[in-house]
Amino acid sequence: MTLETAFERRTLDLEFPFTIARGTQTETEVVTVRIADEDAVGVGGAGPSAHYGETADTVAAVLPDLLAVVEDVGDPHQLERIERRMRETVRRNPAARTAVSIALHDLVAKRLEVPLYRYWGLDPTETVASSYTIGIDDTETMREKTETALERGHEVLKVKLGTDRDLEIVEAIRSVAPDARLYVDANEAWTPKEAVRKIERLADYNLAFVEQPVPAENPEGLRYVYERSPLPIAADESCVTLADVPKIADRCDIANLKLMKCGGLREAKRMIHAARAHGLEVMLGCMSESNASIAAACHLAPLLDYADLDGSLLLADDPYDGVPMLGGRIDLEALERPGTGAR
Ligand SMILES: [Mg+2]
């Protein structure tokens, strides 16, 4: 079988400047991969994250080698073989490998004329609603962004923390969103003792969990917080690849996986099962991504306890169509399109 491959880079504006404890971004660069056979085109996206050493430049630099693997194997159904050979070709660059993995899965499911979740044997009625992220800003602006999110139908919100007014922010948001399900994410900003002190007070605001309270480089600090926290703890920066799952198992309650961290859809599924085997709950998050990759993540939603798939929702305008998520709820009808549903 002859497979034709191509990729393109695009710079996309965010709807609002997006600030987390580490910095601010106003736009994002994504790379979209296409893999075609005689009948169908598979689409996949990379949303590279500089925190993990990737940019659109590094993705574009390795994609020719990764797509050469695809063309060499020739059969898109050989997903395991292709993903393994891609990993042998470039050991890092997980977002680049993920884009190819998604495009292949999209193509394979389209060839079989089934939605991706169905190819995997999952039950779409088990999907959970995605959270919508409120980035750091002055407290009044964060309150206004929360009101806008509620008007758009979001009932699950994730609030970025890691400031000197974290309590004030959560109090302000809770005051306008008394019934919303609330997550908070400190993105490594706290020391272990500071984290415990803050979480003890945050526990008054009915939060579902606290994500990545301390730096990933401090695994003992994560354990210190986990053993003392009155709220569940999620690990994101501490949980990058499959090998990290056993390392965080006795240091948190929830593993936050991301396709752009782990390097492919098959690896993501392995991480989900490994996390469950270690007694962890599972969240699937995302980077700044377009629908070219978010659509694939939607098909994994039946396997999750928490979804944080607002990458496309945070863009001013997404050039790619995907699975609509009005108010964070995955559109089950759109999920019925063959492949991932990205176009
Ligand atoms: Mg996070």
CATH architecture of 118-334: Alpha-Beta Barrel (3.20)
Ligand 1 centroid, distance to 241 Cα (angstroms)? 15
Which of 26, 95, 108, 112 is closest to 60 using CA atoms?
A: 95
DSSP codes, 280-299: -EEEEE--S--HHHHHHHHH
Ligand 1 centroid, distance to 285 Cα (angstroms)? 7
Ligand 1 centroid, distance to 308 Cα (angstroms)? 9
Ligand 1 centroid, distance to 73 Cα (angstroms)? 36
Taking only the tens place, the pLDDT of each residue in 175-184 is: 999 999 999 9
Ligand 1 centroid, distance to 335 Cα (angstroms)? 26
Ligand 1 centroid, distance to 20 Cα (angstroms)? 9
Could you tell me what percentage of the chain is helix, strand and coil, using 3-state DSSP and rounding each to the nearest 5? 40, 25, 35
Ligand 1 centroid, distance to 258 Cα (angstroms)? 10
Determine the pLDDT at residue 135.
96
Taking only the tens place, the pLDDT of each residue in 256-275 is: 999 999 999 999 999 999 99
* pTM for this prediction: 0.96
Ligand 1 centroid, distance to 157 Cα (angstroms)? 13
Ligand 1 centroid, distance to 178 Cα (angstroms)? 23
Tokens of 296: 């694939």
Ligand 1 centroid, distance to 46 Cα (angstroms)? 18
Give the gyration radius of the chain's Cα atoms.
Answer: 19
* Cβ contact 255:222 at 8 Å: no
**Average of per-residue pLDDT across 110-131:** 96
Q: Is residue 1 pLDDT above 90, yes or no?
A: no
Q: Where are the domains of the chain?
A: 4-113, 118-334
Ligand 1 centroid, distance to 297 Cα (angstroms)? 16
Ligand 1 centroid, distance to 276 Cα (angstroms)? 19
Determine the pLDDT at residue 237.
98
Q: Please tell me the distance from the alpha carbon of residue 235 to that of residue 283, in angstroms, as a whole number.
A: 9
Q: Please tell me the distance from the alpha carbon of residue 89 to that of residue 82, in angstroms, as a whole number.
A: 10
**Average of per-residue pLDDT across 7-26:** 94
Ligand 1 centroid, distance to 108 Cα (angstroms)? 31
Ligand 1 centroid, distance to 116 Cα (angstroms)? 26
Ligand 1 centroid, distance to 122 Cα (angstroms)? 26
Percent of the chain, pLDDT > 70?
Answer: 100
Determine the pLDDT at residue 327.
95
Ligand 1 centroid, distance to 47 Cα (angstroms)? 15
Taking only the tens place, the pLDDT of each residue in 138-169 is: 999 999 999 999 999 999 999 999 999 999 99
Taking only the tens place, the pLDDT of each residue in 48-73 is: 999 999 999 999 999 999 999 999 99
Ligand 1 centroid, distance to 211 Cα (angstroms)? 6
**Average of per-residue pLDDT across 175-194:** 98
User: For residues 201-232, b (16+ Cβ closer than 10 Å) or e, as one string?
Assistant: ebeebebbbbbbbbbbebbebbbbbbeebebb
Ligand 1 centroid, distance to 307 Cα (angstroms)? 12
Q: Is residue 15 pLDDT above 90, yes or no?
A: yes
Taking only the tens place, the pLDDT of each residue in 208-246 is: 999 999 999 999 999 999 999 999 999 999 999 999 999
Determine the pLDDT at residue 39.
92
* Cβ contact 307:130 at 8 Å: yes
Q: Is residue 122 pLDDT above 90, yes or no?
A: yes
Ligand 1 centroid, distance to 4 Cα (angstroms)? 36
Phi-psi region of 187 (alpha: psi -120 to 50; beta: other; left: phi over 0): left
Ligand 1 centroid, distance to 140 Cα (angstroms)? 23
C-alpha angle 329-333-336 in degrees, rounded to nearest 5: 115
Ligand 1 centroid, distance to 126 Cα (angstroms)? 23
What's the CATH class of domain 4-113?
Answer: alpha beta
| Amino acid in the structure at residue 172 | A
Ligand 1 centroid, distance to 286 Cα (angstroms)? 9
